[in-house]
Structure 1
């Protein structure tokens, strides 16, 4: 009996149960978020839209962004970055959230409307309570006709407490991380070179109504009976090379440089622990990848053959 109880205790410590069955805790990984300095929201961001739905908290160290029937809301970074590490701890709305999207992303569409770059975390509300979907996407130089989406179920309830969503972007690769666990790596190689983000970008955090497409292709619209929808953000990290002037063509140089905080060898490729963590996330929690979508692409994008 004692042996049975010990086994039961060990199993219960690593397994949780959700509507999709058992969810296992991720393997241990390095904490990249410990390497960069946190900034208060008011120092890092300016209001982008929906001012009345942006509520700063704790003397500006965190913020609530809100979607209601009148408006969504959003923030934009005060600086524009060329390469870097960008992270936010986000707590998602807990109500019935179909059609709601909370996004943390990099973009330069304001500067390059016809050939912009973008690196996206999009958290998609679901028709089931608290069952959010994580979508990642990346494109460069206006390559928006090729959607590079990958979708994941989370291994935790994102509405109970904040979790860290981080982007590492440099000349070697772009990595999406959740609570420091890599869930996706886009390696900068010849196959994707023309569509790899290559120009300085701003950092955005938004909440908005995406009823037309977000939940099963628009099947479930936002139900404002459950509004307001409130997302909380804090623990902001922006360890990037800041583009000094809007009219400047100068960018961070490649190679070791104090101007670029993510150029060192420790940021050039995933460690063994990180690779193990990413393999775990993709095997157990990814349920869609554009590289597997042969109904969408008769000929898969070139980088899919390098995976």
Structure 2
């Protein structure tokens, strides 16, 4: 088991350093208010004002793999705003993996909300504070999706793991290809102190910046929903019958070092966990046991 843990760490670090990068326009396209998206060299800035938010989406869909992006969040009074980085399939029974950065009153810490939808059902929120100021510099945010687990990482540190427990009858996302989405939008009906603090539009535009997009995943053809042949294209593509890193057993759990990091994050920065919310759930979700 220790050998597998070491293999996992080596594999993860290699992927984080060597994942295939590509020009933004090859991977993504605007899907909402392109006039609010500004390109400044290798940096993309998404702007929210009292007219509109904005966003972009991947040109392809993926099933299993890893997605990274570096983000610098809205500075100052960002109350009422949400910056989102997520993967999602389509339809009412969709799967979804969310990073949502919840705006704050100036001087208060940002909250990072993660959520997981399986077959259209979510309600799996966790919220964390951060161990740095996410508005002063870029930091890396990663979604890692394998057959055995889903990991949310910040600067290579795992903040959440959702294990595949299908043997216990717990649904796990593995059949629906998901697109990659990034957006900035107004949610002052709920996002800051439960909606008590509204967006102050005199501070608009609210700007989040993005750079260093990386995708290392199994790419699905949008036209046919077929897995594309393996190639050295924009993102890692895969073929049936070929084992990839996301298939390997070592990717299904955390090694000792990453487990310690996750415990530290939970002890110091976890401020809400749906699995502890006995007021919200009369019966706790099945994945919360054990």
Partner of 2:33: 50
Partner of 2:185: 208
Q: How far apart, in 1, do the equivalents of 2:240 and 2:149 lie?
A: 13
CA gap of 1:193–1:39, structure 2 versus 1, over 3 A, is farther
Q: How far apart, in 1, do the equivalents of 2:60 and 2:50 lie?
A: 30
Q: How far apart, in 2, do the equivalents of 1:150 and 1:50 lie?
A: 29
Q: Deviations over 1:160-183 (max 9, x none)?
A: 000011000111100000000000
User: What's the secondary structure of 1:158's corresponding residue?
Assistant: coil
Q: Deviations over 1:108-154 (max 9, x none)?
A: 13xxx22001000000001233621000000111113xx00000000
Partner of 2:146: 170
Q: How far apart, in 1, do the equivalents of 2:160 and 2:264 lie?
A: 11
Partner of 1:127: 105
CA gap of 1:255–1:175, structure 2 versus 1, over 3 A, is farther
Q: Deviations over 1:181-240 (max 9, x none)?
A: 000000011246425353100000100001111112211111111111111101111100
CA gap of 1:266–1:57, structure 2 versus 1, over 3 A, is farther
1:71 aligns with 2:67: no
Partner of 1:282: 266
Quote the offset at 1:254 in angstroms. Answer: 7.9
Q: How far apart, in 2, do the equivalents of 1:36 and 1:237 lie?
A: 6
67-76 vs 238-247, which deviates more?
238-247
CA gap of 1:152–1:255, structure 2 versus 1, over 3 A, is farther
TM-score after normalising by structure 2:
0.87
How many residues end up aligned between the 2 structures? 270
Q: How far apart, in 1, do the equivalents of 2:50 and 2:193 lie?
A: 21
Equivalences for 1:1-307 in 2 at 5 Å? 31=13, 32-58=15-41, 61-109=42-90, 113-129=91-107, 131-144=109-122, 147-190=123-166, 191=168, 193-196=170-173, 198-248=175-225, 257=243, 260-306=244-290
Aligned-residue CA RMSD (Å):
2.1
CA gap of 1:41–1:253, structure 2 versus 1, over 3 A, is closer
Q: How far apart, in 2, do the equivalents of 1:193 and 1:34 lie?
A: 33
TM-score after normalising by structure 1:
0.82
Question: Runs of 5+ in structure 2 lacking a partner?
Answer: 1-8, 229-237
Q: How far apart, in 2, do the equivalents of 1:41 and 1:95 lie?
A: 27
Residues 64 and 145, structure 2, Cα contact 8 Å, conserved in 1: yes
CA gap of 1:253–1:39, structure 2 versus 1, over 3 A, is closer
CA gap of 1:284–1:229, structure 2 versus 1, over 3 A, is same
Residues 165 and 171, structure 2, Cα contact 8 Å, conserved in 1: no
Residues 147 and 246, structure 2, Cα contact 8 Å, conserved in 1: no
Partner of 2:6: none
Quote the offset at 1:298 in angstroms. Answer: 1.2
CA gap of 1:209–1:262, structure 2 versus 1, over 3 A, is same
CA gap of 1:193–1:302, structure 2 versus 1, over 3 A, is closer
Q: How far apart, in 1, do the equivalents of 2:105 and 2:193 lie?
A: 9
